[in-house]
Each structure stands twice: as C-alpha cells, then as structure tokens.
Amino acid sequence: MTSKVHRSEEEWRRELSPEQYAVLREAATEPPFAGKYVYEKSDGMYRCAACGADLFSSETKFDSGSGWPSFTDPATEANVETREDRSHGMMRTEVICATCGGHLGHVFDDGPGPNGLRYCINSCALELEQS
C-alpha cells in the first residue's frame, strides 16, 4: 500500500489550483458537464490530482449521463475509501483518496457493472495518465 501523504492546508493551497483545492480539500463539486474528463475516451489510469495515487482505470469508465466522469470500480481498492455523507440534506456515500484524504466525489448504487456501483468523480480531482 502507498504511504499516506500529509500536508498542511497552506501546502495544499500552493500545490492545487483553486478549483482543485475547493473539491479535494473542501468537498466542493464542480459543475456538471464542465470537467475535462466527462467525455474523455482515452485509455489510461486516472490518478489523484493531489497525490498521484492510482484511482480508476479507463477500462471501468462509462457515460452515465450525470455530467461527471463515472466508473464501475476503483483500479486499486486500497486507494479509495468511502464514508457516510449527510451534507446538503441528503444521505450519500463520499469517495475519498485513501492516500491523501482528498474528496473525489460520491458513489451510488445505480451503476451498470457487476456490483451495480457508479463512482461519480470530479474531473479536477483526477489526472489521466494515458497508456
């Protein structure tokens, strides 16, 4: 397993763009259909934009019509954590990078894969390393 990444909030502010900081460190959500990976079809590995951990493979990406990149499974289970999110008057499951604690998005049980999950992830929380 990858070592945990710990930085001060000041260090995160210096390293991340304002949009990335808002999403990854403050659990904001980018506008639907605005992210750079919504329509991306290239092969590769989607990594955490904050720490570089492998998160999702392009092989599990699908067009959910939701406005955010969607995946059926994490590439490496140990790199992705989930926790209950009761913000905004809703009950959801938040998806977090296990390496740096960055907010990635949410997971829902309406996906097409064998486990029925849809990992709905903010584009700005990801960096695609094309293969």
Q: Annotated catalytic sites, by residue?
A: 120
* Angle at CA of residue 112, ends 34 and 66, nearest 5°: 20
Tokens of residue 57, six digits: 């493979």
Cα separations in angstroms, 10 against 2, 20, 101:
23, 14, 15
Determine the Cα–Cα distance for residues 32 and 38; give it in Å rounded to an integer.
9
Q: Strands of the chain (E only): list them.
A: 44-48, 54-57, 61-62, 70-71, 80-85, 92-97, 103-108, 118-121, 126-130
Cα separations in angstroms, 93 against 16, 42, 77, 107:
24, 28, 15, 6
